[in-house]
Amino acid sequence: MELEFNKRLKKNKKKHPVRNIILIILALLIVGGASALYVNHRGYSAKNPDDMSLTEVKVSSSDSISQVGKKLQKKGLIRNERYLTRYAKRYGAKSIKSGTYLFSPVQSIDNVYEELAQGPEETPVLDSGYTYIDGNKTAAQTAGTMADAANVSKTDLLKAYSDKDLIKEMKEKYPKLFLNAKSDLTLYDLVMPGIYKLKDEKSADALVRDLIKRTNKEMKDYYPELKSNGIPVSTAVLLAENGGKTEFDRRLAFIKKIASYAQQLKKDYGILPSISIAQAIHESNWDDSALSSKYNNFYGVKTDDTTTGKSVVLETQEVENGVTVTKKARFAVYASYKDSMKAHAKTLVNGNTWNANQFKDVIAATNYKDAAQALYDDSYATDPNYPAAIIRIIQNWNLVQYDK
């Protein structure tokens, strides 16, 4: 029987060679298609579902979807730019909005594409299972999201942040986290902004313990510099979604660069170094503005000089009648940052052409809080929030140490 079956099989192979070849080809196509489907699925999925770090990516109005994909690939956020390009072609290209985005390796290609379409002002688009905590939001604003994700009470979570016994417990377990801390510090001030993969917790206290544990782990590289410069940990925490350690080091280096000259200006003109430094930080956005980085103008000093070539016309934002408006203005150009700082000190001391005592209250102030308020009262700044911004910078970076 078996011998007869084999004979018939050989006979069929000889009798239908074309059909057999077609069947083989179809089988190969099915296997190949399945393989291609697997590769595409893997390419569209998150590059690393466990890497919840955030990376800034700047997208310009002239960038194509392919160019954006190359930026993301270069920063290690997606596997290959072609997956983003294919996705856009397959589901219909949307208008990409320019700006600075936050992306993470936990985002799939569809997450990335949706975020590019919605714009940089929104929060990162994430799959379910991930929770994003915005560092610009208060404890009350994020409590609902975190409580739902961890399956705990929102009310209990808000209480846990300020619970004295829990604060004491965390302080004993992670003493370095509390170095240079403000007296009104809450545990929410030590919660790292960013992406979390929260699990069900037994209680709100247990959730907070896990949050603080993560902060301590991520802050270890910061501790030496925070301690030596008297800077609170909460300052570094705020930078978690804005450049992290790299940005922290850059900002600290900027302070170190101008601090000694600010102290010299105090001897020569009586300006508090903390004010000189904080204003330079605020006006130049940490030396990240074109006016400061290209033209050494740290304080947004304007000029009417159009003949010497020591000026440039740029756009600026000002507050008029409580409304922020964008204008073009002519700004001074300096040969060095020291020239800019000296000009700023002279302006405060000598006033302007119509009032030599314009900034007398700034000069007379003996502490940074009074000096910061005087900058607004004496009309150096038009924004009513300016004093608070200057004070916050001084306190966050312990700039008062340079006043001593």
Chain segment 119-147, per-residue pLDDT in tens: 988 889 999 899 999 988 999 999 999 99
Residue 102 backbone zone (phi > 0: left; psi -120 to 50: alpha; other: beta) = beta
Using alpha carbons, list the distances in angstroms from residue 172 to 199, 214, 233, 402.
Answer: 25, 16, 16, 31
Residue 93 has pLDDT above 70, yes or no: no
Residues whose CB falls within 8 Å of the CB of residue 216, separated by 6 or more in sequence, listed in order: 174, 176, 177
Report phi then psi at 329, rounded to 5. Answer: -145, 160
Poorest-pLDDT segment among 17-31, 265-279, 308-322: 17-31
User: Residue 34's pLDDT band (boundaries 50, 70, 90)?
Assistant: very low
Residue 273 CA to residue 265 CA, distance in Å, equals 8
Contacts for 361-366: CB closer than 8 Å, 24+ residues apart: 362/271, 362/275, 363/270, 363/271, 365/272
CATH topology assigned to domain 244-403: Lysozyme (1.10.530)
User: To which CATH superfamily is domain 55-118 assigned?
Assistant: Endolytic murein transglycosylase (3.30.1490.480)
What mean pLDDT is predicted for residues 306-322?
75
What is the arithmetic mean of pLDDT over 225-244?
92
Query: What does the alpha-carbon distance between residue 249 and residue 87 come to, in Å, rounded to a whole number?
Result: 37
Check pLDDT > 60 for residue 148.
yes
Q: Answer yes or no: are the C-beta atoms of 348 and 359 closer than 8 Å.
A: yes
CB atoms within 10 A of CB 330: 14
Which pLDDT score, from 0 to 100, does residue 174 have? 97
Tell me the pLDDT band of 80, cut-offs 50, 70 and 90: very high
Q: Is the dihedral of CA 38, 40, 45, 47 positive or negative?
A: positive
The Cα 347–Cα 283 span in angstroms is: 15
Residues of 200-238 as b/e, b for ≥16 C-beta within 10 angstroms?
A: ebeebbebbbebbeebbebbeebeeebeebebbbbbbbb
Q: Which residue has the higher pLDDT, 88 or 13?
A: 88
Across 69-208, the runs of DSSP E, i.e. the strands, are: 99-103, 131-133, 194-196
Sole residue written with tokens 């940052």: 337
pLDDT value for 310 = 84
- Helix runs in 125-271, H state only: 139-150, 154-162, 164-173, 204-219, 223-229, 233-238, 244-269
pLDDT of 231 > 90? The answer is yes
Nearest to 213 by CA among 238, 192, 184: 192
Cα 143 to chain centroid distance, Å, stands at 21
* Burial classification of residue 74, based on how many CB atoms lie within 10 Å of its CB (0-12 exposed, 13-18 middle, 19 or more buried): exposed
89 vs 369, higher pLDDT: 369
Q: Are 84 and 69 in contact (CB under 8 A)?
A: yes
Average pLDDT in the 8-24 region?
56
Share of residues in the chain with pLDDT > 90 (%): 69
Give residue 199's pLDDT band: very low, low, confident or very high (50, 70, 90): very high
Of the CA atoms within 13 Å of residue 99, those in its CB half-sphere come to 14
DSSP 352: B
Supply the pLDDT for residue 14.
53
What's the average model confidence in pLDDT over 182-190?
93
Q: Report yes or no: 120 and 97 within 8 Å, Cβ to Cβ.
A: yes
Q: Which long-range contacts (CB under 8 A, 24 or more apart) does 1-4 make?
A: none
Q: Which one is predicted more confidently, 194 or 307?
A: 194
For the whole model, what pTM was predicted? 0.79
Q: What is the per-residue pLDDT across 275-286, written as a single tens digit (0 to 9) for each?
A: 999 999 999 999
Band of the pLDDT at 287, cuts 50, 70, 90?
A: very high
Give the mean pLDDT of 10-35: 54
Task: Answer whether residue 298 shows pLDDT above 60.
Answer: yes
CA-to-CA distance for 177 and 216, rounded, in angstroms?
7
Q: What pLDDT is recorded for position 236?
A: 95
Alpha-carbon distance 102 to 118, whole Å? 13
**Among residues 325, 326, 294, which one has the least CA distance to residue 311?**
294
